[in-house]
Structure 1
Amino acid sequence: MLPWSHKAFRANAPVNSSDMLCRFIDVIPLAYLVYFTFFGVILPPLLAMVVLYSGVFHILRRRLRDSLSRHMEQQTYFLKEQALTKVLTLVLLLFVACWLPLNVMNSVTFFRGPDAVSKEVVYTGILLTHAHSAINPLLYGFRIRRIRDAYLQLWNRLCQLNHFRASLNVTPLLTVII
């Protein structure tokens, strides 16, 4: 299952830095990516999440309809829960949009052959998976108030630290990064 120690995979490693291309498939066998990672690790939880979120939305919609005739406090509570569920659904949809294409491409390549999907399309799929990691914190930060407030507090502290260091005429790595 962990093939990177096998000589056949190490033999495909680039000799010099000018030959550095995306060699992920040279290190991890495609069968492992398709059967274990996609069919075993990604697809079952994804399907379970879709079923669970559908159930949650159905229950929330019913409770919200029932609470329309009740007190305003209960209605506000259910509206907040519905908003949070929408954020989590957006996170799930973003995950699907960013990870499913690459896994489908890997499956097509595995079952149809190496020329079934162009390298450019695969690289775009890889870029989507990396973009998912960058977008998720921003999505949480803009959609969930508590996280947004924590981001703003962190940003203010970093700006204050940067201002303090600038007043001392010190340019440490943190100041350069910020």
Structure 2
Amino acid sequence: VAFIVGLTPMLGWNNLSHLQQNSSISSDLVITCQFENVISMDYMVYFNFFGWVLPPLLLMLGIYAEIFYMIHKQLNNKKFTTSHTDPNKYYDKELNLAKSLALVLFLFAICWLPLHIFNCITLFCPECQKPIVLLPIAISLTHGNSAVNPIVYAFRIKRFRTAFRKIWQQYFCCKDTPPLEIQPRHRADSWLGQ
């Protein structure tokens, strides 16, 4: 999907023909390389945002709402249908995991929606005044999203936190650390549930 979305402008959905018609470029194809000069806002809004960002985001919101509903229902229901010795502990772990993953989804939305909203304003209301200082902030947020996920995992999921500490101590503090112990676990105590 990333290749399809990323390469589509190179395959023709770009502003090159528009720039050639308006004589904005010379015969040697020299143009000012600004994002909005090169990339079509139709592509950014209709194909990228409405096609590849918004539908999965809404689907994931629906899935997480269902997950939280089911876990809440199971925690409130005293008739557990599970073979675990302590069902409350199991569902509490699952709830914490779901919260962590929902936080990742929330941060994705916070980081990516400002740029897409900016693009929608550019496409649907070209005469509207846009605070130009917001565009670099929106772009920085999209790049920052990649750095946020490991931090969320490290602080919210115990096994990630333990591995992160060991890596930090070994490679940045130059301390010898014992290798991570990998023990066979019951399926309910998977590495994500820790």
Q: Which TM-score bucket, shorter chain as reference?
A: 0.7 to 0.9
Distance 1:114 1:30 in 2: 14
The code of the aligned residue for 1:73 comes to D
1:5/1:103 CA distance change after superposition, 3 Å: closer
Identity, in percent, stands at 35
1:114/1:32 CA distance change after superposition, 3 Å: farther
Distance 1:5 1:157 in 2: 49
Pick from 72, 87, 90 the counterpart of residue 77 of structure 1.
90
| Equivalent residue, structure 1, for 2:133 | 120
| Contact 2:118 2:135 (C-alpha < 8 Å) held by counterparts | yes
> Residue 50 in 1 paired to residue 69 in 2?
no
| Contact 2:115 2:138 (C-alpha < 8 Å) held by counterparts | yes
Cα deviation, residue 115, structure 1: 4.7
> Residue 145 in 1 paired to residue 158 in 2?
yes
> Residue 37 in 1 paired to residue 48 in 2?
yes
Greater helix share, structure number: 1
- TM-score when scaled to structure 1? 0.76
Query: Which digits, 9 at most, give the CA deviation of each residue in 1:33-68, with x for residues without a partner?
Result: 111110000000001001110001000000011148
1:79/1:162 CA distance change after superposition, 3 Å: closer
1:25/1:5 CA distance change after superposition, 3 Å: closer
> Residue 13 in 1 paired to residue 32 in 2?
yes
Extract unaligned runs of 5+ from structure 1: 15-22, 164-178
Query: Which digits, 9 at most, give the CA deviation of each residue in 1:55-103, with x for residues without a partner?
Result: 0100000001114889871110000000000011111111111111110
Query: Which digits, 9 at most, give the CA deviation of each residue in 1:115-171, with x for residues without a partner?
Result: 5322211111111112211222111111111111111111122136489xxxxxxxx
| Equivalent residue, structure 2, for 1:111 | 124
1:6/1:112 CA distance change after superposition, 3 Å: closer
Extract unaligned runs of 5+ from structure 2: 1-7, 20-24, 177-194
The code of the aligned residue for 2:99 comes to K
How many residues get paired? 155
Pick from 74, 98, 105 the counterpart of residue 92 of structure 1.
105
| Contact 2:154 2:160 (C-alpha < 8 Å) held by counterparts | yes
- TM-score when scaled to structure 2? 0.70
